[in-house]
Amino acid sequence: MKKQTLTNRSYYFLSLCVIALLSFYPLMMGVQILTAYLKEGYVHAADYPKYVIPYTPIAIALILSAALLPLAIKACKKFALLALSVFGTGAFLLFELLFEQVTVFSIKEGLADVGSWQSYLCIATPEVVTTIEYRETIGASLAERYSPVFKIHFYLIAILIVLAVIGLVYGYAKMIREKNYARKRPLLLQTTVVCVFIGLCIWACFTAFYRTGEINISPVSSWLMSVFFIVFGMTAGSYAGSLLYFKKPLVSRLIPAIIAVATTFAMYVGELFLMGGELFRFGSGFLFKPLGNCPFAWIDFAVIVASGAITYFILAMIRKGDRHIKS
């Protein structure tokens, strides 16, 4: 019993330390802009660390959730994951809304809230939007161009990261506590997909996938955005697949695949709001042209379906030969 307790404590401490360490940069960004905001009432655009939202609120929510993991397991028992997920999502939304009150100042645009400034940075690579030529081609001011609905784009990413990471922390804790390693395969799959997705998010933060602000993007940008959309859907699918791993074979694969497709489609909807009703075009020709009045092209539908298909077959692959389930 004593050894088991020490093992649990070690895991809780290790998981909290790892999340805190990985959250160092987002937390540092948050402290930086809050210090400037409290001192001057706004943050200079040149000093604004890119993507404070949603990543600083995500970091805070994950640290708080990891810190409360032992309490949630003890107090909520079999509902601990649900309780932590609700708490983590609520904590993210609370701190997100607080950070959105921060004001950014630029010579060209004047004062703008963080939300509209973040929308500005999403349209093209950060290096492009800092040039005078690009700023002058933007046209209307941020206040006129900005639609708060575009935040669905960020909220989907953020809440999925929060839920997926909390699911992993809780899943490994449960496995260690009960010494039951039946969920090892789906947890390892979920870990891999989440790490790849967060890595792509970081890449996008610093490069915006090399977009220039034009609708027609380069082949490199097209490939990166396609992979991002697919992995985004797979992150949701692998999370659902981990929870449904021991259900009937069709349910354990089909429902996560459907969730992956729906999540990827929702991400496309977020892009539509971000781009004012248009989607980035991945190339020219039949596969890449919008289908009549529909903004989606055949390649967009292919990306959406691919997220579900890959999720389905990977889940089928890891279930095959697993002695803990009946395929």
- Residue 295 CA to residue 300 CA, distance in Å, equals 9
> Are residues 314 and 250 located together in one domain of the fold?
yes
- Residue 180 CA to residue 285 CA, distance in Å, equals 53
Q: Each residue of 62-74: pLDDT tens digit?
A: 999 999 999 999 9
Number of folded domains in the chain? 2
- Residue 306 CA to residue 133 CA, distance in Å, equals 38
pLDDT at position 141 is: 43
Q: Which residues contact 117 (CB under 8 A, 6 or more apart)?
A: 45, 48, 104, 106, 142
Query: Residue 61 is part of which domain span?
Result: 1-148
Residue at 130 is within a domain = yes
Q: Is 77 left (phi over 0), alpha (psi -120 to 50) or beta?
A: left
Of the three residues 128, 148, 168, the one that is the final residue of a domain is: 148
Q: What is the mean pLDDT of residues 62-87?
A: 93
- Residue 237 CA to residue 253 CA, distance in Å, equals 9
> Are residues 110 and 197 located together in one domain of the fold?
no
Q: Is it true that the peptide bond before 54 is cis, omega within 30 degrees of 0?
A: yes
Residue at 194 is within a domain = yes
| Helix H or strand E encompassing 112 | strand 110-113
Q: Which residues contact 1 (CB under 8 A, 6 or more apart)?
A: none
Residue at 174 is within a domain = no
Most confident range, picked from 150-154, 178-182, 193-197, 206-210: 193-197
- CB of 267 within 8 A of CB of 232? yes
pLDDT at position 269 is: 87
Residue at 126 is within a domain = yes
Of the three residues 130, 148, 166, the one that is the final residue of a domain is: 148
Of the three residues 101, 126, 148, the one that is the final residue of a domain is: 148
> Are residues 216 and 113 located together in one domain of the fold?
no
- DSSP H helical ranges for 146-289: 152-178, 184-207, 219-243, 249-274
Residue at 169 is within a domain = no
Q: What is the mean pLDDT of residues 114-123?
A: 57
Q: Which two tokens stand for residue 173?
A: 């804790």
> Are residues 115 and 208 located together in one domain of the fold?
no
> Are residues 122 and 234 located together in one domain of the fold?
no
Percent pLDDT > 70 in the chain is 80
Residue at 84 is within a domain = yes
Residue at 297 is within a domain = yes
- Residue 4 CA to residue 281 CA, distance in Å, equals 55
- CB of 205 within 8 A of CB of 224? no
> Are residues 103 and 187 located together in one domain of the fold?
no
- CB of 86 within 8 A of CB of 129? no
pLDDT at 3 over 50: no
Q: Is the pTM value of this prediction over 0.85?
A: no
> Are residues 217 and 292 located together in one domain of the fold?
yes
**Torsion angle of C-alpha atoms 217, 309, 241, 57, degrees rounded to 10:** 10
pLDDT at 114 over 90: no
> Are residues 88 and 25 located together in one domain of the fold?
yes
Confidence label for 36 from pLDDT (cuts 50, 70 and 90)? confident
Burial class (CB in 10 A: 0-12, 13-18, 19+), 47: exposed
Q: Which two tokens stand for residue 192?
A: 């891999």
> Are residues 327 and 194 located together in one domain of the fold?
yes
pLDDT at position 160 is: 95
pLDDT at position 196 is: 96
Q: What is the mean pLDDT of residues 105-132?
A: 52
pLDDT at 178 over 80: yes
Residue at 246 is within a domain = yes
- CB of 310 within 8 A of CB of 317? no
Confidence label for 123 from pLDDT (cuts 50, 70 and 90)? low
> Are residues 91 and 232 located together in one domain of the fold?
no
> Are residues 84 and 134 located together in one domain of the fold?
yes
> Are residues 201 and 320 located together in one domain of the fold?
yes
Edge to edge, what strands does the sheet with 43-44 contain? 43-44, 103-106, 110-113
